[in-house]
């Protein structure tokens, strides 16, 4: 401890005491950091358009303040405005690094976020990947069947599910914005945010009447295909 205070001679028994340098060494001045997630993938993005932001959280897992010196990014990627780490991060604290993707050409695009700081594992890097896709070509979806009828279902019960199949029949990737039902119907799906050319997905719809009599609703698929939104008529009877 005397050595940690800068003394070169030590009084009494301190001259023969065990070294305690671990309390004054690199672990206190060079805190380790972690990144979660450790990489960012942006999937397909139309050339010349900008994706939504994705985030990686940097956490100071040490016992001393982290000082961030530089934050750099490469490739067809950019920091997405607010939420980027800078300055000092206290021990145990976190900050967010936000990134978006604007592909300049088609195909797989890669880049890196590089963080330079006083951490023991500096510099840290976040690999970035995305794929640029062409805006040319037709975007069309086939939705089958065009309507679903669930027949008679007891009020308060849930019917067996019926499936609607969605297929990309065009020559360009289709971006899917959302799938929703109205009325006394519900859905689950595996469509994701986009459908590749020739690919398909399934939407499973159920009827859960809360009142008796004929009930109607609509399954709505929002996307960038021609004719969007696509709709499927839903009917059933509660009893």
pLDDT value of residue 116: 94
Q: How many angstroms separate the first and last alpha carbons of the chain?
A: 82
Q: Which CATH class is domain 141-238?
A: mainly beta
Which of 8-17, 23-32, 84-93 shows the lowest per-residue confidence on average (mean pLDDT)?
A: 23-32
Tokens encoding 114: 């590089």
Write the pLDDT tens digit of every residue in 91-109: 999 999 999 999 988 788 9
206 vs 23 pLDDT, higher one: 206
Write the pLDDT tens digit of every residue in 123-175: 999 999 998 877 666 678 999 999 999 999 999 999 999 999 999 988 788 88
- Domain 27-133 architecture: Sandwich (2.60)
pLDDT value of residue 212: 94
What is the location of CATH 2.60.40.10 in the chain? 27-133, 141-238
**Bridge partner residues of 66 (DSSP):** 89
Residue 25 burial (CB count, 10 A):
11
Whether the full predicted model's pTM is greater than 0.75, yes or no, is no
Q: Is the pLDDT of residue 84 over 80?
A: no
Distance between CA 70 and CA 85 in Å, rounded? 9
Q: Is the pLDDT of residue 7 over 60?
A: no
Please compute the mean of the pLDDT values over residues 67-79 and round it to a whole number.
Answer: 93
Q: For the sheet with 124-133, list strands across it.
A: 40-46, 124-133, 107-117, 66-73, 87-89
pLDDT value of residue 86: 84
- Percent helix, percent strand, percent coil in the chain, to nearest 5: 5, 50, 45
Cβ–Cβ < 8 Å for 56, 113: yes
- Chain centroid, CA 57 distance in Å: 12
Which of 43-47, 77-81, 234-238 shows the lowest per-residue confidence on average (mean pLDDT)?
A: 43-47
């Amino acid at each position: 401890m005397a050595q940690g205070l800068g003394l070169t001679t030590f009084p009494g028994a301190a001259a023969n005491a065990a070294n305690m340098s671990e309390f004054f060494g690199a672990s206190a001045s060079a805190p380790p950091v972690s990144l979660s997630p450790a990489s960012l993938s942006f999937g397909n993005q139309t050339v010349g358009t900008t994706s939504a932001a994705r985030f990686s959280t940097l956490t100071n897992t040490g016992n001393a303040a982290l000082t961030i010196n530089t934050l750099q990014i490469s490739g067809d990627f950019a920091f997405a405005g607010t939420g980027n780490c800078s300055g000092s991060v206290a021990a145990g604290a976190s900050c967010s690094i936000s990134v978006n993707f604007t592909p300049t050409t088609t195909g797989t695009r890669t880049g890196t976020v590089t963080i330079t700081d006083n951490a023991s594992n500096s510099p840290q890097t976040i690999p970035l990947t995305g794929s640029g896709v062409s805006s040319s070509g037709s975007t069309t979806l086939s939705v089958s069947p065009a309507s679903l009828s669930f027949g008679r279902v007891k009020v308060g019960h849930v019917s067996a599910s019926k499936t609607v199949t969605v297929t990309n029949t065009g020559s360009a990737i289709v971006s899917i914005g959302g799938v929703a039902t109205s009325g006394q119907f519900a859905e689950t799906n595996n469509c994701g945010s986009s459908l590749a050319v020739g690919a398909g997905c399934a939407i499973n719809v159920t009827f859960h009447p809360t009142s008796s009599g004929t009930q109607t609703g609509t399954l709505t698929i929002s996307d960038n295909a021609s004719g969007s939104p696509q709709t499927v008529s839903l009917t059933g009877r509660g009893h």
